[in-house]
Amino acid sequence: MELGLEGKRVLITGGSRGIGLAAARGFAAEKCELFLSARSKQRLEAARTSLIAEFGIKVEIHACDLLDNASVIDLAARCGDADILINNAGATPTGPIEAVGYADWREGFELKLIATATLTREIYLNMKQRRSGVIINVIGNCGERPDPEIIIATITNTGLMGFTRALGAASPEFGVRVVGINPGPTETERLVALMQRKSADRTGEAGRWRELVAPLPFGRPADPAETADAIVFAASDRASYVSGTIITVDGGVAARGHLF
């Protein structure tokens, strides 16, 4: 299927690993030009080396802490000509309300909501002037299925879903689309580390973590590439009439109302 993405400039936050890196690979396969942002310069350099070696495309890297507003504005200035923005960064502190404190709430809201809104605004203003562009917000399905064990993410993700719908309702007037992607449990480094700790607590063996995810749909978490495929499609010409909505990629978890 021709997606019409060749030559597009794509900015991906959190692009050095997990879903962000999988999305980078998906866009690279479509011959896009990539701008990758993450906190770790070392991880970004490794991602750039791998992507150039495999796909032969242009990759710029921008080490950036999105908790610093000046860094967000600078990133937007350096990548302001992006045709596609993938807001993927924003791993919020985990735990129920009893386990998270003021600093955790501030970090979660500033990273997942404020930084995303700030970067989006800056890039969106440029897209409006050009009357073209796509913004994809990678959110998380606990915005649909509230989870008390990740209370901060539940609230921030709910907010980002509303942000996506609101902006995506107005943006087509200026030739811009805004779409949300809600992944469910996905086999990233972060998920594996969390499940290994849970497995060690419950079974005494970190290596038995896959037993804990066996009740998930299809008996496993999603592969990052499965979410990345949805991101790439949503950003493509094949989804040209899709805006202001959320695409859920969780195997049906949110629809059935519980995780396990």
pLDDT digits (tens, 9 = 90+) for 51-110: 999 999 999 999 999 999 999 999 999 999 999 999 999 788 888 999 999 999 999 999
Kindly state whether residue 20 falls inside one of the protein's structural domains.
yes
Residue 193 identity (one-letter amino acid): A
The per-residue pLDDT for 260 is 52
| Burial of 102: CB neighbours in 10 Å, binned 0-12, 13-18, 19+ | exposed
Write out the residue range of the structural domain in which residue 66 sits. 9-186+222-248
What is the distance between the alpha carbons of residues 37 and 154, in angstroms, rounded to a whole number?
A: 24
Kindly state whether residue 209 falls inside one of the protein's structural domains.
no
Q: What confidence tens digit (pLDDT) does each residue in 246-258 have?
A: 999 999 988 876 5
Kindly state whether residue 1 falls inside one of the protein's structural domains.
no
pTM recorded for the entire structure: 0.93
Kindly state whether residue 108 falls inside one of the protein's structural domains.
yes
Kindly state whether residue 243 falls inside one of the protein's structural domains.
yes
Q: How confident is the model at residue 37 (pLDDT cuts 50, 70, 90)?
A: very high
Kindly state whether residue 258 falls inside one of the protein's structural domains.
no
What is the distance between the alpha carbons of residues 84 and 57, in angstroms, rounded to a whole number?
A: 16
The per-residue pLDDT for 211 is 74
Kindly state whether residue 85 falls inside one of the protein's structural domains.
yes
Kindly state whether residue 192 falls inside one of the protein's structural domains.
no
The tally of domains found in the chain comes to 1
Q: How confident is the prediction for the chain on average, in pLDDT?
A: 93
DSSP the chain: ---S-TT-EEEEETTTSHHHHHHHHHHHHTT-EEEEEES-HHHHHHHHHHHHHHH---EEEEE--TTSHHHHHHHHHHTTT-SEEEE----PPPB-TTT--HHHHHHHIIIIIIIHHHHHHHHHHHHHHHT-EEEEEE--GGGTS--TTBHHHHHHHHHHHHHHHHHHHHGGGGTEEEEEEEE-SB--HHHHHHHHHHHHHHHS-GGGHHHHHTTSGGGSPBPHHHHHHHHHHHHSGGGTT--SEEEEESTTHHHHT---
Q: What confidence tens digit (pLDDT) does each residue in 127-145 have?
A: 999 999 999 999 999 888 8
Residues in the chain: 260
CATH of the domain at 102: 3.40.50.720
The per-residue pLDDT for 33 is 98
Statement: residue 31 has pLDDT above 80: yes
Sign of the C-alpha dihedral, residues 2, 127, 184, 19?
positive
Give Cβ neighbours of residue 192 (< 8 Å, ≥ 6 apart): 209
